[in-house]
Chain A
Amino acid sequence: MTIIHSRYISAGGVALILVFWEVACRLFEVPDFILPAPTVILSAALLKAPLLLPHAGVTALEILLGVLLSLIIALPLATAMFAYPAIERALAPFLVVSQAIPVFALAPLLVVWLGYGIASKVLMAAIIIFFPITVSLFEGYKNCDREYVVFFRLMGAGFWDTLRLLCWPWALPFFFAGLKVGVTVATIGAVIGEWVGAQRGLGYVMIQANARLNVDLVFAAILWLSCMGLFLWGLVGFMERRVIHWR
């Protein structure tokens, strides 16, 4: 099946769900404060764009800074784990624990420690993102073909030359796979942080709108978040195609 065909099928599937949703809302006269129809949500998302846009900007900034922070943590961490197996053995339990603790449990603590500003949300997003990036990059390093590694050793390459010229490019597809997962789930971290305590951001808008039974605005914020997630996914995909040009 070609990519174009599969995209048509994907778009057709989404369109079918939306039509079903729209018809069901109209047919059963579901009130907007319970479940607004897709057209109502779309008009809210567009009409209230001046209200939503600044908040979306804040959330986007939190996510981008979260991604940046997680990269600053993940790249050296994965490399150190690869270079020194003792570090991997020592840190593996902490990495798992960092993901086993529900982010909901961490969010109030981070707000207490870092305040209502952007820092707690950035850290929240980073905690969620750094794990898939670290693990995928580390696995990518380990996946490096042994025959190539031996060949590099034969050429007299040291560990860092082998890492730079062989293992890092070899691991790039894994890294981007992790980054794609990371940017997609990053919204969760940022929004949860905003739910717990914030004065700006789409999560803050959702909490406020929900309290006023302004459900169409809640959905509009979700729509903006979804678009943001899709954009980030596409952006990482674009970067992946540019960087991994040999595939």
Chain B
Amino acid sequence: MLEVKNLRKCFDDLVVLDGFSLTVRRGAFTILVGPSGCGKSTFFDVLTGAVEKDGGQILWAGGVYSHLGGRTAYMQQKDLLLPWRTLIENALLPIHIAGEDRTEARRKASMLFRRLGLEEFEDYLPQKVSGGMRQRCALVRTLMFQHELVLLDEPLSALDAITRRSLQSMLLLLQSEFGKTILMITHDVEEALLLADEVIVLSSFPMRMRERFVLNEPKPRKGNDPELLRVKEHVLEGLQRESFNGMPVYGTAEKRVWR
């Protein structure tokens, strides 16, 4: 289980995280949605160690850590592929850095490339392929990490609708086939409702948990499901209020169960 307790982060006078707490079940797909600039990315930065926290605790798999850098796989909107390495070499980068056996890893990467329709492009440089293919390669690289916890920071937001749809189903693979525990940030409420076991709606900063939806509906889900549309409408209304009124909602998060 990933547990974050009373996390605090300030940038000079700006308090972005003030006693933020969160629990993510092991093996669950948890998605954070919140208004722009509410501090979601700062939260990930703190989790990954990109910025130092000012207070609070991070607990993962029985250990207490100052950050989870080196203990988590990470994928974000920018694919961060190295232009001088071919797609397969990029996918193998975590293995290369860890100094692990590359023969076996290459076999695994090739298998994943086939699964994601990239088998013809293993030896292509990233700049020679489309944005969707680059992101698929980044997804393979994420799968090559030996870590159970995966952090996804808006990994699909730069993609067109069709590529996005196909990659959403691939993200589900992370959980269903590879047993990863996933914590993801997205702006797309529908995407959150399609993928997540749990959607956490956040308030403006200091970031707090505003609402929490547990989604028991089996996956893959359909975007036109009336119940899903109702929840989507509810979440969007809440987010709109947050964005335009800028009024943070304090207090205990309300927990709702969808089906």
A-B interaction: yes
Confirm or deny: A161 has a beta carbon within 8 angstroms of a beta carbon on chain B. Answer: yes
Q: Chain B nearest CB: distance from A190 CB in Å? A: 34
Decide if B97 touches A154 in the complex (CB within 8 Å).
no
| B69 near A154: Cβ-Cβ < 8 Å | yes
Q: Is A153's CB under 8 angstroms from B97's CB?
A: no
The yes or no answer to A105 lying at the interface (CB within 8 A) is: no
Residues of A within 8 A of B49 (CB): 153-154
Contact of B82 among A161, A166, A245 (CB under 8 A): A166
Q: Is A50 part of the binding interface, using a Cβ–Cβ cutoff of 8 Å?
A: no
Question: Are the CB atoms of A246 and B94 closer together than 8 Å?
Answer: no
A233 contacts the other chain (CB 8 A)? no
Contact A161 B97 (CB under 8 A): yes
B43 to chain A, nearest CB (A): 15
- The answer to whether A148 touches B80, judged by C-beta atoms less than 8 angstroms apart, is yes
B106, CB-defined interface residue at 8 Å: no
Q: How far in angstroms is the closest Cβ of chain A from B11?
A: 16
Whether B145 pairs with A155 at a CB distance below 8 angstroms is yes
Q: CB of B117 within 8 A of chain A?
A: no
Are B78 and A150 closer than 8 Å at their CB atoms?
no
B37 contacts partner chain A, Cβ-Cβ < 8 Å:
no
Residues B70-86 near A (CB distance < 8 A)? 70, 72, 74, 76, 78, 80, 82-84
Of residues 139 through 179 on chain A, the ones whose CB sits less than 8 Å from some CB of chain B are 147-148, 150-157, 161, 165-166, 169
CA distance A150 to B80 in the complex (A): 11
Interface core residue of B76, B78, B84 (most chain A CB under 10 Å): B84
Which of A151, A153, A165, A247 has a CB less than 8 Å from the CB of B96? A165
CB interface residues, B 43-92, toward A, < 8 Å: 48-50, 69-70, 72, 74, 76, 78, 80, 82-84
Number of A-B contacts (CB under 8 A): 47
Q: Is B111 an interface residue (CB 8 A)?
A: no
Check A246 against B74 for contact (C-beta < 8 Å): no
Residue among A152, A154, A165, A247 with max Cβ neighbours from chain B (10 Å): A154
User: What is the minimal beta-carbon distance from A146 to any residue of chain B, in angstroms?
Assistant: 9
| Shortest distance from the beta carbon of B170 to any chain A beta carbon, whole Å | 20
Residues of B within 8 A of A244 (CB): 84
Contact of A155 among B50, B84, B94, B127 (CB under 8 A): B94
- Contact (Cβ within 8 A) A150 B82: no
A121-155 vs B, Cβ < 8 Å mask (1 yes, 0 no): 00000000000000000000000000110111111
Closest to B144 in A: A155
Given contacts A148-B80, A151-B80, A156-B70, contact A246 B127 (CB under 8 A): yes
Tell me which residues across on chain A come within 8 A of B82, comparing CB atoms.
148, 165-166, 169
* Interface pair B97/A246, CB less than 8 Å apart: no
Q: Looking at A148, A157, A246, which has the most chain B CB atoms within 10 Å of its CB?
A: A246
Given contacts A154-B49, A165-B97, contact A246 B69 (CB under 8 A): no
Measured between beta carbons, the chain B residues less than 8 angstroms from A148 are 80, 82
Give the nearest-CB partner of B80 in chain A: A151
Choose from B48, B69, B93 the contact partner of A165 (Cβ within 8 Å). B93
**Which residues on B sit within 8 Å (CB–CB) of A150?**
48, 50
Are A155 and B80 touching (Cβ within 8 A)?
no
CB-based contact A246/B70 at 8 Å: no
* B72 contacts across to A, CB distance below 8 A: 154
Determine whether the beta carbon of A246 is less than 8 Å from that of B50: no
A246 to B145, CA, bound (A): 25
| A22-60 interface (Cβ within 8 A of B) | none
A180 and B49 CA atoms in complex are apart in Å by 39
Given contacts A147-B78, A161-B97, A165-B96, contact A154 B84 (CB under 8 A): no
Bound form: Cα–Cα A202–B75 in Å? 58
Nearest-Cβ distance from residue A66 to partner chain B, whole angstroms = 29
Interchain Cβ contacts under 8 Å between A and B, 22 examples: A147-B76, A147-B78, A150-B50, A151-B74, A153-B50, A154-B49, A154-B50, A154-B72, A154-B74, A155-B93, A155-B98, A156-B69, A156-B70, A156-B98, A161-B97, A165-B93, A165-B96, A166-B82, A245-B84, A246-B83, A246-B125, A247-B83
18 further A-B contacts with Cβ under 8 Å, apart from A150-B50, A153-B70, A161-B97, are A147-B76, A147-B80, A148-B80, A148-B82, A151-B74, A151-B80, A152-B97, A153-B69, A154-B48, A154-B74, A155-B70, A156-B70, A156-B97, A157-B97, A165-B82, A166-B82, A245-B84, A246-B84
